Amino acid sequence: MMYPEIESEVLRKVKPDREEISEVNQAAEELKEKMETISKGRYRPLLVGSVPKKTFLKKPDIDIFILFPESSSLEDLEKIGLRVGRHVLDETEEKYAEHPYVHGKFKGYRVDIVPCFDVKDIDEMKSSVDRTPLHTEYMINNLDEEQRDEVILLKAFLKGIGAYSAENRVQGFSGYLCELLILKYGDFNSLLKAAGDWKKGEIIEVEQIQSTFDAPLIVVDPVDPKRNVASALSEYNFDLFVFASKSYSKKPDIKFFFPNPIDVLDVGELNDKIDSRGTSFLDILILRPDIVEDNLYPQVQKAHKALRRYMARKNFSIIHDDYMVNDNSIHLLFELEHACLPSIKKHQGPPIGNPHTSAFEKKYSERVYIEDGRLMVDKKRLVRTAKQAIRKAVKKLDLGSDLNDYFLDDLMIVEDGDIAEKYPAVLSKFMDKRPPWKR
């Protein structure tokens, strides 16, 4: 296929050359041989994911599944799978899908070794990961050579706009979802032209399979029709992709694939921006616990949502909010209209004529007045500042089983100019709301 100049340049930058393809395949085969040597007939290793499908970007991850006979016990599958992974990989760590697996390094590549049951049909599936080998087989049989390059373009586009990966950290498009979308629409540009008009709840069926899901994007899995392949996609990343697709189709630009980094402003510039906005900034900061990302990010998202709801209930008007996870710290960020509220608040009583008016009047006595057909009273506000509200909230709310103690014992709350001075990169990123390609 002849590609426009921009897309040709992207492919030159992100598509592995023959030497790189040979290198990764050689590493994968060597790893499989090591696993077969110690298998004693208990399992067979299978290369899955983007490498055998030839849809990978430069320096890909290697995914090898250990396929156990269906007669195997789940206990043996987990125990042997972990033992094999630790034996053949370096720098190993245990991760978790439906059951534990090993992540590590081999010849410079990041590798996942995942145990599963060797099923031939989805109806025989015993665990969710059992479908992955079937996904690999489906794509090898259905994607043609030209479409593989289209998938690579789509992955590079999604990576550029920040929406590639179904991991909890991103909540974007998985590699398999990218492949299905290209299979459905034929090529990268046809997909983007269609996606620019997608609406929430968009249903895409690669094959004629009727199924119902409630999600921003619904892509029915042709291997497992009971599954929405786009279930991990957040509403924000759905909206981002629709907007980016429409924008690129109107005016292609290589910055969609390779955006400029966010400018980290100096302290003076940040303080000037804070002053010009006339708002209050709050950074709720804890240390990052040593747990795997798959467990960490759902808890951070839970804490962020819980504190946002609490702040709104306490009458703090939130303009912007976000969270960021760094190597050593977690930041929950809020921009508020005001960080300090008046000392009084209006408290609404019953309508005039309601039988409860007597009790309300007795309780508040001479402070009661009438407004809009109801009894009202001005009450003293017990929590006036955002910092007070947060310190109360962390004692009341469940902010995640692994995070609660950090919020209770190690909480830091940093405001305005102090954020600019201590965490300029965090505040710069929080203030820059532009889509990546507009930087």
pLDDT of residue 81: 93
Instruction: Find the angle CA(118)-CA(131)-CA(157) to the nearest 5 degrees.
Output: 140
pLDDT at 96: 82
Confidence check: pLDDT of 55 > 80: yes
Class of domain 267-341+383-438: alpha beta
Q: What is the pLDDT of residue 412?
A: 97
Residue type, 311: M
User: CA-CA distance, 373 to 44, in Å (whole number)?
Assistant: 76
* Cα–Cα distance for residue pair 90/113, rounded to 1 Å: 12
Confidence class of residue 97 from pLDDT cuts 50, 70 and 90? confident
Rounded to the nearest 10°, the torsion over CA 386, 293, 421, 265 is -110
CATH of the domain spanning 143-256: 1.10.1410.30
Distance of CA 83 to the CA centre of its chain: 30
Largest Cα separation within the chain, whole Å, is 87
pLDDT confidence band for 106 (50 / 70 / 90): very high
For helices 145-161 and 5-14, angle between their N-to-C axes, nearest 10 degrees? 90
What mean pLDDT value characterizes the chain?
94
In this predicted structure, the answer to whether residue 276 has a pLDDT above a threshold of 90 is: yes
DSSP, res 324: E
Q: 100-106 and 109-117: which strand pairing?
A: antiparallel
* Domain range annotation of the chain: 5-141, 143-256, 267-341+383-438, 344-380
Q: Which tokens belong to 162? A: 């920040």
Amino acid type, 393: A
**The token pair that represents 328 in the structure block:** 């050593």
Residue 182 has a pLDDT of: 98
Rounded Cα distance, 107 and 39, in Å: 21
Q: What is the pLDDT of residue 206?
A: 85
Q: Give backbone dihedrals phi and psi of 250, rounded to 5 degrees, phi first.
A: -75, -40
Residue 314: C-alpha distances to residues 280, 304, 345, 439 (Å): 16, 15, 10, 35
| pLDDT given at position 208 | 74
Mean pLDDT for the stretch of residues 295-323? 96
Average pLDDT over residues 264-286: 97
Give residue-wise pLDDT tens across range 410-420.
999 999 999 99
Whole-angstrom distance, CA of residue 245 vs CA of residue 230: 17
Using alpha carbons, list the distances in angstroms from residue 70 to 67, 130, 234.
Answer: 9, 10, 35
In which band, very low, low, confident or very high, does the pLDDT at 379 lie, cut at 50, 70 and 90?
A: very high
Judge whether residue 53 has pLDDT over 80.
yes
Reduce the DSSP state of residue 237 to 3 states and report it: helix
Calculate the CA 40 to chain-centre distance: 39
Band of the pLDDT at 292, cuts 50, 70, 90? confident
Q: How long is the chain?
A: 439
**What distance in Å separates the CA atoms of residue 284 and residue 334, rounded to the nearest whole number?**
8
pLDDT for 2: 60
Spell out the long-range contacts of 204-213 with Cβ–Cβ below 8 A and sequence spacing 24 or more: 204/180, 206/180
Q: How far apart are CA 119 and CA 142, in angstroms?
A: 20
The CATH architecture one would assign to domain 5-141 is: 2-Layer Sandwich (3.30)
User: pLDDT value at position 39?
Assistant: 87
pLDDT digits 0-9 by tens, 382-411: 999 999 999 999 999 999 999 999 999 999
Residues 6+ apart with CB under 8 A from 361: 368, 375
Read off the pLDDT of each residue in 227-252 and give the average, rounded to a whole number: 97
Residue 435: what pLDDT? 97
| pLDDT attached to residue 212 | 77
pLDDT at residue 210 tops 80 = no
pLDDT tens digits, one per residue of 171-209: 999 999 999 999 999 999 999 999 999 999 999 988 776
CB 53 within 8 A of CB 140: yes
Are 145 and 110 contacting, i.e. CB atoms less than 8 angstroms apart? no
Residue 434 has pLDDT above 90, yes or no: yes
Question: Could you give the C-alpha distances from 112 to 121, 233, 246, 341, in angstroms and in order?
Answer: 23, 22, 35, 51
Give the pLDDT confidence of 136-171 residue by residue, as tens digits: 999 999 999 999 999 999 999 999 999 999 999 999
Rounded Cα distance between 175 and 229, Å, is: 10
* pLDDT at position 397: 97
Residue 1 pLDDT: 62
**Nearest-angstrom CA–CA distance, 95 and 294:** 8
98, pLDDT greater than 90 = no
The residue whose two tokens read 């809009």 is: 372
pLDDT at 25 over 80: yes
Residue 193 identity (one-letter amino acid): K
